Amino acid sequence: QIRYSVPEETDKGTVVGNISKDLGLEPRELAERGVRIVSRGRSQLFSLNPRGGSLVTAGRIDREELCAQSTPCLVNINILVEEKGKLFGVEIEITDINDNNPKFHVGDLEVKINEIAAPGARYPLPEAVDPDVGINSLQSYQLSPNRHFSLHLQTGDDGTINPELVLERTLDREEEPTHHLVLTASDGGEPRRSSTALIQITVLDTNDNAPVFDQPVYRVKVLENVAPGTLLLTVRASDPDEGVNGKVTYKFRKINEKQSLLFHLHENTGEMTVAKNLDYEECSLYEMEIQAEDVGALLGRSKVIIMVEDVNDHHHHHHHH
Ligand SMILES: *[C@@H]1O[C@H](CO)[C@@H](O)[C@H](O)[C@H]1NC(C)=O
**How would you list the strands of the sheet with 231-234, edge to edge?**
231-234, 271-274, 263-265
3-state secondary structure of 175: coil
CB-count exposure of residue 145 (10 Å: 0-12, 13-18, 19+): exposed
- What does pTM read for this prediction? 0.78
> Is 212 within 8 Å of 237 (Cβ atoms)?
yes
pLDDT tens digits along 28-81: 999 899 999 987 666 689 999 988 899 999 999 999 999 998 889 999 999 999
How far away, in angstroms, is 50 Cα from ligand 1 center? Answer: 11
Q: How far apart are CA 76 and CA 261, in angstroms?
A: 101
15 CA closest ligand 1 atom index = 13
Count Cβ atoms below 10 Å from residue 66 Cβ, excluding itself. 15
The pLDDT value recorded for residue 317 is 52
Peptide bond into 72 cis (omega under 30): yes
Q: How far apart are CA 33 and CA 82, in angstroms?
A: 6
> Is 96 within 8 Å of 73 (Cβ atoms)?
yes
The pLDDT value recorded for residue 40 is 67
Binding pocket residue ranges, ligand 1, CB within 6 Å: 18, 20-21, 26-27, 52-54
Position 106 pLDDT exceeds 60: yes
21 CA closest ligand 1 atom index = 5
pLDDT tens digits along 207-216: 999 999 999 9
20 CA closest ligand 1 atom index = 5
What stretches of the chain show up as alpha helix (H) in DSSP? 19-22, 29-32, 63-67, 257-262
How far away, in angstroms, is 143 Cα from ligand 1 center? Answer: 53
